[in-house]
């Protein structure tokens, strides 16, 4: 297992940085499952101009971003 890079986690998250990004479908169901599992939520599900996103902190401290793109109109 890799050791997380040393950094100021609070500052990193305050700037809304993420370590990895995943495009998903069904983000609301994913958010419910993540919350039910007791995972550490870095940024709750929110609507952005490009779609909905959710940030989760994994057990190693990495911030994972999940985004469901907004359907084109």
Query: Is the predicted pLDDT of residue 72 greater than 90, yes or no?
Result: no
**Nearest CA-CA partner of 16 in 50, 55, 46, 52:** 55
Domains of the chain: 19-69 (3.30.720.110)
DSSP assignment of the chain: -PPPPP--HHHHHHTT--SEEEE-S-HHHHHHHHHHHT-EEEEEEEEETTEEEEEEE-TTS-EEEEEEEPPP-
pLDDT tens sequence across 30-51 = 999 999 999 999 899 999 999 9
Average pLDDT score, the chain: 85
pLDDT tens sequence across 15-26 = 667 889 999 999
Q: How far, in Å, CA of 19 to CA of 16, rounded?
A: 10
Quote the pLDDT of residue 56: 94
Query: Is the predicted pLDDT of residue 13 greater than 80, yes or no?
Result: no
């Amino acid at each position: 297992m890799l050791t997380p890079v040393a950094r100021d986690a609070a500052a990193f998250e305050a700037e809304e940085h993420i370590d990895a990004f995943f495009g998903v479908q069904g983000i609301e169901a994913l958010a419910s499952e993540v919350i039910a599992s007791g995972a550490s939520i870095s940024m709750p599900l929110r609507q952005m101009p490009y779609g909905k996103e959710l940030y989760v902190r994994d057990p190693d401290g990495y911030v994972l971003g999940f985004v469901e793109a907004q359907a084109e109109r």
